[in-house]
Amino acid sequence: MEETAKTYAQFRQKKNKWAVLGQRFIFVSLGAMIMGVALELFLVPNQILDGGITGISIILSHLAGWKLGPVIFILNLPFFYIGYKQIGKTFALTTLYGISIMSVTTILLTPVKVFTDDLLLCTVFGGIILGIGVGLVIRWGGCLDGTEALAILLNKKLPFSVGEIILGLNLFIFTCAGFVFSWKYAMYSVITYFIATKAIDVVVQGLDESKSVWIISDEMYDIGDAIMARLGRGVTYLNGEGAYTGDNKKVIFCVITRLEEAKLKSIVEEFDESAFIAVGNISEVRGGRFKKKDIH
């Protein structure tokens, strides 16, 4: 009887894992295609840039006369390895897949006529559509630009936060755009970037750089070991007591980056689908052992 119950539980875990992978495949594909639409039908034809590696790719493709899709893919290749080392294999593979779909989408849409050449409309709607696409991919555990992975790496060597590093890189990119295109297009690009950032926040529901996670489950030790082994994050076990039932509970507490949230949830669901998970935004993290351990 126990063997049958164990086999059934394993079957359910495997089934749920494939269901999550299927959902991730669908939404990452959709988000990547939406970003491709924003780039090719709104922004690039009107010389409006996004930030990060995508912005560098637009400038480079314009100067060299190359197609945008392959340039984005090639420039992001070094960051797949950084993402793998800093965040994990699932994130790196999801990012690789998402950028591949986005690159193919831009290639297919290159001959398509743009909706409008009105700069203001392209700036606003291009930014919104871009933010929705990027937000979907981030929400499902991936990324469409290597800037954040680079910022996480530089954060360990420079006295600046991840957000400050990203802001500095994007200011440099928009300054370059002012010289390559014109300052008018550079200023429109800044507006697009701001709108896209807000749209991403809406899609991902207020995603911040760091998040605190509280987990209550009877499988706390298995979940804690998996978080340490597969995310490289330290966990703390706290003693709790249910006010209504009076039962003693073990509470898992840990701090993660926003790009790790999807993977952490999948880890918890793998061991306990009914586990209580509370995720909160953190404006600042200091001291302790927040730095990520290497995953072997």
What's the CATH code of the domain at 233?
3.30.70.120
Which is nearest to 232 in space by CA: 156, 296, 293? 293
- Based on the number of CB atoms within 10 Å of its own CB, is 82 exposed (0-12), middle (13-18) or buried (19 or more)? middle
What per-residue confidence (pLDDT) applies to 121? 92
The answer to whether residues 39 and 150 belong to one domain is yes
What per-residue confidence (pLDDT) applies to 294? 57
Residues 250, 239: contact at Cβ < 8 Å? yes
Strand partners, 256: 211
What per-residue confidence (pLDDT) applies to 289? 56
Q: Is residue 57 pLDDT above 60, yes or no?
A: yes
Q: Is residue 187 pLDDT above 90, yes or no?
A: yes
Of the three residues 203, 218, 252, the one that is the final residue of a domain is 203
Find the mean pLDDT for residues 113-137.
89
pLDDT tens string 74-87: 998 888 777 777 77
Query: What's the sign of the alpha-carbon dihedral 105, 111, 114, 115?
Result: negative
What per-residue confidence (pLDDT) applies to 79? 80
User: Is residue 102 domain-resident?
Assistant: yes
The answer to whether residues 170 and 44 belong to one domain is yes
Of the three residues 203, 235, 268, the one that is the final residue of a domain is 203
- Expressed as residue numbers, the domain containing 222 is 210-282
Query: H/E element holding 257?
Result: strand 248-257
The answer to whether residues 77 and 185 belong to one domain is yes
The fraction of the chain above a pLDDT of 70, given in percent, is 87
Q: Is residue 149 pLDDT above 80, yes or no?
A: no
pLDDT tens string 202-226: 787 654 467 889 999 888 889 999 9
Q: Is residue 148 pLDDT above 80, yes or no?
A: no
The answer to whether residues 118 and 215 belong to one domain is no
What per-residue confidence (pLDDT) applies to 199? 87
Q: Is residue 150 pLDDT above 90, yes or no?
A: no
Which of the residue ranges 131-135, 162-166, 168-172 would you say has the lowest mean pLDDT?
162-166
- Based on the number of CB atoms within 10 Å of its own CB, is 269 exposed (0-12), middle (13-18) or buried (19 or more)? middle
Q: What is the overall mean pLDDT for the chain?
A: 83
What per-residue confidence (pLDDT) applies to 43? 92
User: Is residue 289 domain-resident?
Assistant: no
User: Is residue 275 domain-resident?
Assistant: yes
The structure tokens listed for 183 are 């300052």
What per-residue confidence (pLDDT) applies to 207? 47
Residues 146, 76: contact at Cβ < 8 Å? yes
The C-alpha atoms of residue 271 and residue 287 are separated, in whole angstroms, by: 30
Total length of the chain? 296
What per-residue confidence (pLDDT) applies to 63? 92
The answer to whether residues 192 and 218 belong to one domain is no
What per-residue confidence (pLDDT) applies to 106? 93
Of the three residues 176, 203, 230, the one that is the final residue of a domain is 203
The answer to whether residues 81 and 220 belong to one domain is no
Give me the number of domains the chain comprises. Answer: 2
Instruction: Please tell me which residue, 190 or 281, carries the higher pLDDT value.
Output: 190
The pLDDT confidence band at residue 239, using thresholds 50, 70 and 90, is: confident
The answer to whether residues 61 and 22 belong to one domain is yes
Find the mean pLDDT for residues 149-171.
77
The answer to whether residues 173 and 256 belong to one domain is no
The answer to whether residues 185 and 231 belong to one domain is no
